[in-house]
Amino acid sequence: MLILTRKVNQKLIINDNIEVVILESYKNTVKIGVNAPSNVQIYREEVYNEIKKSNKQAHHVDIDAISNIKATKPTGTGFDMMNKIKKNDLTN
């Protein structure tokens, strides 16, 4: 971890395209500004952790639910027509 001391209006430059500016300092808080390209995602840590948690939950697969799904053969005019088209048989 890089540890720095900065004063108000001083900056940090990251990777030639991200600028972190110290805007204000008061007691135990610091207000910072971040200038970065629009394709760089910037989150507060608590928001980032919630996003990760939500993504993990979305990827969870319920094996029991999948095993209860039964495959069925589609029926009906649309399916029959599709089979005829595949077979190149468009007669009634």
Average pLDDT over residues 16-37: 95
Give the pTM. 0.57
Q: Which residue has the higher pLDDT, 21 or 61?
A: 21
pLDDT, tens digit, for every residue of 3-16?
999 999 999 999 99
pLDDT of residue 71: 63
Give the position of tokens 């589609």: 74
Contact present, 21 and 9 (Cβ < 8 Å): yes
Pick from 69, 19, 59: which is nearest to 40 by CA? 19
pLDDT of residue 79: 67
The alpha carbon of 63 is separated from its chain's Cα centroid by a whole number of angstroms, namely: 24
pLDDT, tens digit, for every residue of 28-81?
999 999 999 999 999 999 999 999 988 887 776 666 666 666 666 666 666 676
